[in-house]
Amino acid sequence: MAIVKMSKFHLFTFSEQRRELLKALQKFNLTNFNDLKVAEGEDGIKKVELPEEIIAIDERIQESKWAIDLLSKYQKKEGLLEGLTKEQKSFTLEDLRLRANKYDFEKNYKDLKDIYESRARYEQKIQNDKTLIDELKPWSSIPIEVKELKNLKSVGVSIGTIPEKFLNELKEDLSKFELAELVEVDRLNKLSYGLIFYDKSIEDQVIECLRKNSFAPSDIKTDGYVKDKMKELEENISSYRSQIEKLDKSIEKHCVDLEDFQIVYDFNKNEKLRLSAENNFISTDRVNVMEGYLPTDKVDDFIKTIEGVVGSNYYFDVKEADRDDKDVPIILKNNKFVSDFQMLTSMYSMPKYNEIDPTPLFAPFYWLFSGIMIGDAGYGLIVLIACLIGLKFFNLKKSMRSMVRFFMYLAISTTIWGLVFGSFFGDTIKLPALIDPATESVKMIGMSLIFGTIHIFFALGIKAYMNIRDRNFIDFICDVLVWYLALIGIILWIISVALSLSPILNKIGMWLTIIGLIGIAATGGRAEKSLGGKIGWGIYSAYGITSYIGDFVSYLRLMALCLAGSFIAVAVNMIVRILIGAGPLGVVFAVIIFLVFQLFNAFLSYLSAYVHSARLVYVEMFNKFYEGGGRPFKNMIEESKYFNIKEE
């Protein structure tokens, strides 16, 4: 249960064997390469450039992803239960290559693209015709053909709109002309749509009058009757929709190609990953140079993989990775229980190679704290049963199975602590309680602080172990031992005063605190060069003892969240009992309220426990010993969204 031991290697092979070797190493899938640089003055050595085919592969990835997204919209939707229980297909990289090369991607992609573009053109025509209908609608009451309006011999016609607020002024101004008339045909969106008829002899005066009153000319896009044009457009839209339905059916027929497009996508994603790795290498005209890391226990398998491609035509140098090498990729290896908590480590930061894997150290505490925070046997049982059903009957991906097992473990802890607290969906069933959080708050506070003290002291103990392991004995004394003395002294002093214990304990606590604080003040600034800096940082370090008060208080959230969830559950039960006494209809509402609000409270309780337990680990525990910042190991095979890619 630790960080996997890694080895650093250098590999020299002939350049013409690079491609085949990378194919084999991708299947090996346990190699990370360093990005080698060419130093100045190194003649004859060059950086291996990205292959030109990367561009074509990128295009193929984008095209296949587009096809997948399109066909997924037309694919018959599976039911939730069917989707969860359906077995996911498995392929090796070789299977993907054979299927991808066999499939006529270019033809099927072009056919699908042509259908989609035809459909898009019809969609655009529908949109254009709808826009034109909207433009024509205000003029639909015109009783004559538009061309007749435009072809009057002695009468001019201005067609357009005017803001309603200027309409009366326009009418008043037009009334001054004996041979001019406004005919309003519609009002829409605070605009008046109208026709202004006038004798052509006064055309200039009328046009000026219209301009002065904010009249905006309009072009009615038809020569015939407006209503007839609108009807024609509606018929066109109906025809276009019929064409779209036919095209949709054609797209649906291509849904049989969905799996092939997914295979092409996954194959090309992995092709890109493999070819991109070449950019990490340097070479001469004939020799290719690789540098990287692999698990130490896989070195023999690595050599066999190399020899399977290049025979004996290679030079290989390998040694255990330097503990302080920041480039070493990190692989965590733990037992089944602990490995399901590794996501919490990844969310924070992977450990450096010279650190220790914190996962097995915090996992028991996280499990314990989450159970206390939720603290209800009913909530534990429903999640436990749901997780067991999911693991037994559903076909889940590896990452999802790990997540389900993670919540199953939390549910077990929740059930145990629910029995300790005598809580089953609040007070739905009266259970004997070892501790009643509602009435024994002092015990809950004490328990929370005890667990917090153990957690903090354990974290300091890990730091002590790391210092001793690395033979940093001065750091062990200055950064751990003196803090232990100060904290133990303060705790002894508080307990002896609070419980009126022997004065000897009081004095022991006082002197331990004094010795610890003096030690902290004397050594806290040891990294500073100046005397003033040493004194200042020493005093500041001693003042840091106050931050531990906040750390200890943080553990009261164990009690607070437990009480919050419990009180909400009890309140729901009170409402339910009142409704049950109100007759048959009340019973129906009581059942609904119980199910909805208890499940919602369970969801909030698990969410709160997930977040706050992580906070206790990240803030109160990790800041005592853990830095993180390690480089996660990256596989050469990309995890598929659609299939299970298995080893050959």
Summarize pLDDT for 376-432 with one digit per residue, the tens: 999 999 999 999 999 988 888 888 899 999 999 999 999 999 999 999 998 888 888
Distances (CA, A) of 141 to 198, 234, 574: 20, 17, 66
Tell me the whole-structure pTM to 2 decimals: 0.82
Using the Cα atoms of residue 419, residue 381, residue 621 and residue 356 in order, give the sign of their dihedral.
positive
Cβ atoms of residues 92 and 647 within 8 Å: yes
Distances (CA, A) of 208 to 174, 198, 211: 11, 13, 5
Segment 510-532 shows an average pLDDT of 77
Instruction: Tell me the H-state helices in 315-440.
Output: 336-339, 342-348, 359-374, 377-393, 398-421
Strand partners, 195: 159, 183
Residue 290's nearest CA partner among 505, 515, 18 is 18
Helix (H, G, I), strand (E, B) or coil at 5: coil
Residue type, 378: G
Segment 307-330 shows an average pLDDT of 93
Q: pLDDT tens digits for 553-583?
A: 899 999 999 999 999 999 998 999 988 888 7
Write out 20-53 in H/E/C secondary structure: HHHHHHHHHCCCEECCCCCCCCCCCCEECCCCCH
Strand partners, 297: none
Q: What φ, ψ does residue 383 adopt, rounded to 5°?
A: -70, -40
pLDDT at 482: 86
User: Which contiguous run of DSSP H or E holds residue 488?
Assistant: helix 482-498
Q: pLDDT tens digits for 171-217?
A: 888 888 888 888 888 988 889 999 889 888 888 898 889 888 888 99
Give the end-to-end CA distance of the chain in Å, rounded to a whole number: 27
Report helix, strand and coil shares of the chain as percent, to nearest 5: 65, 10, 25
